[in-house]
């Protein structure tokens, strides 16, 4: 398949620049795979879509303020660093811009508390290894010095950092939010539990593997970079028990789906584990764990659009997206949601 097979026209004004004033007040498009029908509604309708006995699997990663702007004292030149993954101690993998100027040994000052030393290149275009030099408690220093790593298509300033976090965000380490989860409130989650739906947390720290654009025409040539995941014994046992009882596995977001598909065997059994995944799900893939998916609307020609096209089909997903454009849904990270069942 070609990358261009996943292109669709999107009017720029449909790219959501700010979050919905109320998290759960966003719209919800439901696509029924068995009938091919499309249903328009609001996100709180998800309570009706979920069934007693289902398990809702969510990613409890927390976004760190991973965007740092440093200045080189000798020249006054600036460098943007996007922290992707902690390697060991205070060494990190990151993306730099402009990367060609980030020479090994160069030091960039971010604040009085924090500076960045460039160590070398990684295999990723624009990728560098760096060392963070700081005084004090790292998390507190980073919170003061860093900015939330909003995608480049969001040009308006985020007024409240917490709106780029899910209400259940816990484990720090992501360079981007698992945005399907942004629609949930504690109240809605409480009502979901009261209905008899089990809620389970797993972890995938969102990094380059999730949001890196596809730059090759043949999608099989696209290299997926690995991301850290964790699935506990309790989570695996709970999901397996629900499946054995006839309940559905409903994933909140593509990151939860990719994690579960990584740790599920060919018999559909979910296994606990900690590791790295570079799973790339495209049409033709046979899902082993995911029965239904809550997700946002994704960029044209992206790996995430390819993943949802594997759950339905490319032709059907493009038809659904045409409907969403026609009905003026809001797209991407701060946009509306879709439920594929």
pLDDT per residue over 206-235, tens digit each? 987 676 789 899 999 998 888 999 999 999
Distance, in Å, from the CA atom of 181 to the CA atom of 171, rounded to the nearest integer, reads: 15
Query: What pLDDT is recorded for position 169?
Result: 98
- Tokens representing 308 are 């949802």
Q: Are strands 67-71 and 61-63 parallel, antiparallel or unpaired?
A: unpaired
Tell which phi-psi region holds residue 250, choosing left (phi > 0), alpha (psi between -120 and 50) or beta: beta
Instruction: Output the pLDDT for position 209.
Output: 67
Confidence of residue 166 (pLDDT cuts 50, 70, 90): very high
Residue 211: its pLDDT value, please? 65
Q: Look at residue 126 in the predicted model and tell me its pLDDT.
A: 83
State the Cα–Cα distance between residues 50 and 237, nearest whole angstrom.
Answer: 20
pLDDT the model gives residue 280:
95
State percent of the chain over pLDDT 70. 99
Of the chain, the percentage scoring pLDDT greater than 90 comes to: 92
Return the pLDDT at 223.
87
Helices (H), 106-201: 138-145, 186-194
The whole-number average pLDDT for the span 26-31 is 98
Burial class (CB in 10 A: 0-12, 13-18, 19+), 233: exposed
Q: What is the pLDDT of residues 77-134, one digit of tens each?
A: 999 999 999 999 999 999 999 999 999 999 999 999 999 999 999 988 889 999 999 9
pLDDT of residue 186: 98
Helices (H), ranges, the chain: 46-49, 138-145, 186-194, 208-211, 233-244, 254-263, 303-311, 314-326
Instruction: Give pLDDT tens digits for 56-92.
Output: 999 999 999 999 999 999 999 999 999 999 999 999 9
Q: Tell me the torsion sign for CA atoms 284, 285, 288, 289.
A: negative
CA–CA gap between residue 253 and residue 41 (Å, rounded): 19
Q: Which domains does the chain have, with CATH numbers?
A: 3-63+160-340 (3.40.1780.10), 67-145 (2.40.10.240)
The predicted structure's pLDDT at residue 295: 98
Which of 171, 151, 173, 202 minimizes the C-alpha distance to 92?
173
Q: pLDDT averaged over the chain?
A: 96
Q: How far apart are the C-alpha atoms of 97 and 80, rounded to whole Å?
A: 5
- Which residues, at least 6 apart from 197, have a Cβ–Cβ distance to it below 8 Å? 50, 51, 52, 53, 54, 55, 56
pLDDT score for 207: 86
For 106-140, letters b (16+ CB in 10 Å) and e give: bebebeeebbbbbbeebebebbbbbebebeeeeee
Instruction: Enumerate the β-bridge partners of residue 130.
Output: 92, 118
């Amino acid at each position: 398949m070609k990358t261009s097979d996943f292109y669709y026209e999107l009017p720029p004004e449909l790219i959501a620049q700010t979050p919905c004033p109320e998290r759960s007040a966003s719209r919800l498009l439901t696509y029924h795979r068995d009938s091919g029908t499309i249903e328009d509604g609001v996100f709180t309708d998800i309570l009706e879509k979920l069934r007693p006995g289902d398990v809702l699997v969510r990613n409890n990663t927390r976004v760190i303020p991973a965007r740092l702007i440093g200045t080189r004292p000798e020249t006054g030149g600036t460098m943007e660093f996007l922290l992707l993954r902690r390697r060991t101690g205070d060494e990190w993998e990151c993306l730099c811009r402009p990367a060609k100027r980030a020479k090994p040994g160069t030091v960039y000052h971010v604040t009085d508390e924090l500076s960045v030393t460039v160590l070398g290149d990684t295999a990723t275009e624009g990728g560098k290894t760096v060392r963070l030099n700081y005084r004090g408690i790292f998390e507190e220093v980073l919170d003061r010095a860093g900015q939330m790593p909003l995608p480049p298509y969001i040009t308006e300033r985020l007024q409240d950092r917490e709106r780029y976090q899910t209400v259940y965000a816990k484990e720090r380490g992501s360079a981007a939010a698992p945005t399907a989860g942004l629609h949930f409130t504690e109240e809605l989650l409480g009502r979901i539990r009261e209905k008899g739906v089990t809620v389970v947390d797993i972890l995938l720290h969102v990094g380059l593997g999730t949001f890196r654009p596809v730059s090759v025409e043949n999608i099989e040539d696209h290299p997926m970079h690995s991301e850290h995941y964790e699935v506990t014994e309790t989570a695996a046992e709970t999901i397996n028990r629900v499946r054995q009882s006839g309940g559905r596995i409903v994933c909140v977001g593509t990151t939860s789906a990719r994690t579960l598909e990584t740790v599920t065997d060919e018999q559909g059994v979910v296994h606990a584990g900690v590791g790295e995944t570079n799973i790339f799900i495209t049409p033709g893939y046979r899902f082993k764990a995911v029965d239904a998916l809550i997700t946002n609307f994704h960029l044209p020609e992206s790996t995430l659009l390819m993943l949802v096209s594997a759950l339905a089909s490319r032709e059907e997903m493009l038809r659904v997206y045409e409907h969403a454009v026609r009905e003026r849904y809001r797209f991407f990270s701060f946009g509306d949601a879709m439920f594929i069942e």
